Amino acid sequence: MLNQLGNMNMLMYIVIMAILITIAISVRVKNGIMVKLAFRFVVAIGIIYGINYITPHIGIDASIPLNPVTASIIALLQAPGMALIYIAKYAIYPM
The total of structural domains in the chain comes to 1
Distance in angstroms (rounded) separating the CA atoms of residues 39 and 26: 18
Does pTM surpass 0.75?
Answer: no
- DSSP letter (8 states) at residue 67: S
- pLDDT value for 38: 81
- pLDDT value for 41: 87
- pLDDT value for 5: 52
Which residue range is the domain that position 47 belongs to? 2-92
